[in-house]
């Protein structure tokens, strides 16, 4: 059975994307810092007949992220899809945000994605296949002074994706992002639309891969 690992999965795009892959026969592993919340999402998937389990990880801690990916590899034998969805959605201007929270936000918003990619690429290289899917945001294109750390984080997600796309493609690894330029609430049409975008990216035939899609379409 193919394995989908979601890091930073929440009740909106995170679980919607996981369910979209579960419908295609993937085993789902969801990981976040809040064990109770992740457990509820997994229970929801299990109640629908999907195979899913929960794990705990602090996405800002590179060692924890690497340990999570190693544990999933040892348990399941492979990770076919990595979805990085973690973000601190802090409303703060440059004047109001303390340096320590700014740095901790970036450790989640972009640092965790980098840690996850560095840990999973050797496994996917060995398997000669894999998809790395990153949840982007419209703030990457239109940064907000009121959500500065999130804007910088989403710009980093986009740069990470575009910067690694060609190199990873040579290893038959597809890295891609959905740049989400709208508000997405739990169990909404938008959350399921974004999930479908991620599935479409993963399903693209080799040679026709895209690095980025926009939602809504511009």
Question: HEC profile for 137-203?
Answer: EHHHCCCCCCEHHHHHHHHHHHHHHHHHHHHHHCCCEEEEEEEECCCCCCCCHHHHHHHHHHHHHHH
- Judged by DSSP in three states, 207 sits in coil
Tell me what pLDDT residue 168 has: 98
94-109: pLDDT as tens digits: 899 999 999 999 999 9
Tell me what pLDDT residue 193 has: 98
- Which residue's structure tokens are 């295609």? 24
Tell me what pLDDT residue 119 has: 98
pLDDT at 92 > cutoff 80: yes
Range of the domain at 123: 3-215
- What integer best gives the mean pLDDT of the chain? 97
User: Over pLDDT 90: what percentage of the chain?
Assistant: 97
pTM of the model as a whole = 0.97
Which is nearest to 130 in space by CA: 172, 178, 176? 172
- 27-32: strand order across its sheet: 52-56, 27-32, 3-7, 81-84, 130-137, 173-180, 212-215
Mean pLDDT over 46-60 rounds to 98
114-151: pLDDT as tens digits: 999 999 999 999 999 999 999 999 999 999 999 999 99
pLDDT at 218 > cutoff 80: no
Which is nearest to 16 in space by CA: 44, 54, 58? 44
Tell me what pLDDT residue 172 has: 98
Please count the structural domains in the chain: 1
Tell me what pLDDT residue 215 has: 97
d(CA 42, CA 60): 22
Tell me the CA distances in angstroms from 135 to 3, 18, 51, 100, 132, one per residue in order: 18, 13, 23, 24, 10
156-208: pLDDT as tens digits: 999 999 999 999 999 999 999 999 999 999 999 999 999 999 999 999 999 99
Altogether, the residues listed in the chain come to a count of 218
CATH of the domain at 175: 3.40.50.720
Tell me what pLDDT residue 111 has: 98
């Amino acid at each position: 059975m193919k394995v989908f690992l979601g890091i930073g999965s929440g009740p909106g795009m995170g679980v919607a994307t996981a369910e979209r892959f579960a419908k295609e026969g993937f085993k789902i592993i969801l990981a976040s810092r809040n064990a109770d919340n992740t457990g509820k999402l997994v229970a929801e998937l299990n109640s629908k007949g999907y195979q899913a389990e929960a794990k705990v990880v602090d996405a800002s801690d590179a060692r924890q992220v690497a340990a999570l990916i190693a544990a999933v590899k040892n348990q399941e034998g492979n990770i076919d899809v990595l979805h990085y969805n973690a973000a601190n959605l802090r409303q703060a201007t440059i004047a109001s945000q303390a340096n320590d929270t700014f740095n901790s936000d970036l450790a989640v918003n972009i640092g965790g994605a980098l840690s996850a990619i560095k840990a999973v690429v050797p496994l996917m290289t060995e398997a000669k296949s894999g998809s790395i899917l990153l949840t982007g945001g419209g703030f990457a294109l239109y940064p907000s002074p009121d959500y500065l750390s999130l804007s910088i984080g989403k710009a980093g997600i986009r740069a990470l994706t575009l910067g690694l796309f060609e190199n990873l493609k040579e290893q038959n690894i597809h890295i891609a992002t959905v740049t989400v330029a709208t508000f997405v609430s739990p169990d909404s049409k938008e959350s399921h639309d974004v999930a479908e975008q991620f599935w479409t990216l993963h399903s693209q035939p080799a040679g026709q891969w895209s690095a980025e899609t926009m939602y809504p379409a511009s």
